Amino acid sequence: MTSIQLADATPHAASLIEGMRDFGYTLETAMADVIDNSVTAGSSVIHILADTTSDDPWIAIQDNGTGMTKEELIEAMRPGSRNPLDKRFAHDLGRFGLGLKSASFSQCRMLTVVSRKDDSTAAATWDLDEVSRTNRWDVQVEDDPVAVPATDRMAGSGTVVLWRKLDRLSTNFRHDAARRSTEINAALSGAEHHLRLCFHRYMEGAKPQLKLYLNGRRLEPIDPFASTHMATQIGEEERLPLSNGDVVTQSFTLPHHGRVTKMEWDELGGPEGHLRSQGFYVYRERRLIIAGGWLGLARATELTKLARVRVDIPNTMDADWKIDVRKASAQMPPVVRDRLRRIVERMQGTSKRTYQKRGRKLVDEVNMPLWNRFQKDGSIIYRPNADHPAVTGFIQTLPEEFRNGFRTCITLLGAGLPVAALHADMLGSAESVEADRTDFEEIAESVEQAVTTLLATGMKKNEVLRALCTTEPLIHHKERIRALLEGLQEK
């Protein structure tokens, strides 16, 4: 019989704790992971504070949650303090018991947590330089911390998570205080959008569950679905019961960019724009995990960039969705994938109709566009409308010998349409591509010729107005054209 021996394989503290720094966190995902603990602790107000100008800059996250006793704090500072298989409360945003430590170590070499509960305050510190020196899992504990930054704001119960030795945030300018401050402030500014989006469902409403502040400035939530906008198309909630909980989905089609302000549009698109922001938004206990992307079920296209689907899962489905340590990625279970594929097909049709509605005006027989759109050999071709009354009216004023030359110029203009440049611009940000706006005085003569030509065919005033003022650029000058019509009729 083979004998089995046991050998000590306790991880080396210095090696493992340095390895915990490289789980893939960014500043925004690290801060979100720490805030998860504050939300789970019942915090209603969270302050993100930073001193970026001193010789030893720091960042702190301070909350008014339930706080921890000394024993609870020491346990919270233990790497892997909780088993991911343990059953959790419905509002618990944690999973592995690693988030506080791994998120913090990804940004700093010195983590201090100060917590107050039942009129008792305790502090514990991980200093990676000290761990590297001793190679021991020793956390430094203080019963009565003094002079710890941000703790002077604590009133009643609560916790402060303090990051010092910010080596990952000041790698380029460690010896240049001014440029180091600029770098850290830029990183904080970049993280702001993520936090406003990640916790928006906690921050929304007249009586929000959570108020989040950055250096004293309250952050407003970003609703990626524009759910309160009157032009947003909202589908019914759909529930998929599974063994470990229910998956709840709801589809949204954002308003066309012409129906919202530029600030609203840019905020909805985020730093990467609407093309990358379409798709699924997966929430775990109302906390955003995945922001956009079709998770392999469809391609991101310009015509579907208004389509977004909210997917809600409980924390009992973490293993099914393979939620990672950072709570920043997930994998869709096959049974959910089949259901969501049908939702995607339906959603893409709605988004395309919203974007194409204005394009249909171009081919509407009632209208008289300056450009014709038609298909030829599978391609879509745009060509100037030489039969537009503004064009034909002007041609009639030309001497006979110049008319063919003018028609040739119109054809050349259409053939020179910069399709490749337009395609590149539309892929980047279609909403920023616009026709050149013209003053009415610049086109008044052509408009008068068009109106005169149409009236001569027997069309009534309202019919002329409707025919001319439904496409670019005349749609912007409807009242001036109406006045012109009335003046010509009086004559």
Q: Residue 416 is which amino acid?
A: G
Task: Answer yes or no: do 408 and 264 share one domain.
Answer: no
pLDDT at 420 over 80: no
Structural domain ending residue among the three candidates 192, 218, 244: 218
Task: Mark whether 154 and 238 lie in a shared domain.
Answer: no
264-292 pLDDT per residue, tens? 998 999 888 888 899 999 999 999 999 99
Check which CATH number belongs to the domain holding 168 and give it.
3.30.565.10
CB-side exposure of 19: number of CA atoms within 13 Å?
7
80 and 199 share a domain? yes
Both tokens of 299, joined, read 């391609």
- Structural domain containing residue 334: 233-359
Question: What mean pLDDT comes out for the span 29-42?
Answer: 94
Q: What is the mean pLDDT of residues 109-137?
A: 93
- How does pLDDT run across 60-98, given as a tens digit for each residue? 999 999 999 999 999 999 887 554 445 545 555 554 467
Does the residue 227 lie in any domain? Answer: no
**Contact indicator for 147, 156 with CB cutoff of 8 Å:** no
According to the model, what pLDDT value does residue 90 have? 53
Distance (Å, whole) CA 370 – CA 384: 6
- Helix, coil or strand: residue 406: helix
Query: Is 224 contained in some domain?
Result: no
Asked if 232 contacts 253 with a C-beta cutoff of 8 angstroms, the reply is yes
Q: Give yes or no: residues 351 and 375 share one domain.
A: no
Contact 473, 443 (CB under 8 A): yes
Same-domain status, 429 and 476: yes
With respect to residue 4, please indicate whether it lies within any of the assigned structural domains.
Answer: no
Q: What are phi and psi of 57, to 5 degrees?
A: -65, 155
Q: Report which of 209, 198, 231, 205 is spatially closest to residue 36, judged by C-alpha positions.
A: 198
Task: Please check whether residues 22 and 87 belong to one and the same domain.
Answer: yes
The last residue of one of the domains, among 172, 193, 218, is 218
177 and 256 fall within a common domain: no
Higher pLDDT, 134 or 454: 134
Q: Are residues 65 and 213 in the same domain?
A: yes
Residue 215 clears pLDDT 90, i.e. is over it: yes
Q: Is the domain of 156 the same as that of 241?
A: no
Q: Which residue has the higher pLDDT, 359 or 443?
A: 443
Q: Are residues 250 and 279 in the same domain?
A: yes
Average pLDDT on 33-52 reads: 94
Domain presence at residue 326: yes
Higher pLDDT pick, 336 / 470: 336
On whether both 183 and 237 belong to a single domain, the answer is no
pLDDT at 472: 66
Is residue 307 within 8 Å of 347, Cβ to Cβ? yes
State which amino acid sits at residue 151. T
- Could you tell me if residue 3 is inside a domain? no
Q: Are 112 and 76 in contact (CB under 8 A)?
A: no
Structure tokens at 291: 């922001």
Are 309 and 348 within 8 A, CB to CB? no
pLDDT, tens only, 350-375 = 665 665 554 444 445 456 677 777 77
Which tens digits make up the pLDDT trace of 285-316?
999 999 998 988 888 888 788 899 999 999 88
Report if residue 464 sits inside a domain. Answer: yes
Q: For 163, phi and psi rounded to 5 degrees? A: -105, 125
- 155: exposed, middle or buried (C-beta count within 10 Å: 0-12, 13-18, 19+)? exposed
Q: If you ran DSSP here, which 8-state letter would residue 54 be given?
A: S
Final residue before a domain boundary, out of 296, 326, 359: 359
Residue 5 in any domain: the answer is: no
Residue 477 DSSP code: G
Is the CB of residue 308 less than 8 Å from the CB of residue 252? yes
Query: Which of 221, 213, 168, 173 lies closest to 193 in space, CA to CA?
Result: 221
pLDDT, position 84: 47
Based on the structure, what is the number of domains in the chain? 3
Q: Ramachandran region of residue 267, left (φ > 0), alpha (ψ -120 to 50) or beta?
A: alpha
Question: Model's pTM, two decimal places?
Answer: 0.74
Same structural domain, 355 and 262: yes
Residue 295 lies inside a defined structural domain of this protein: yes
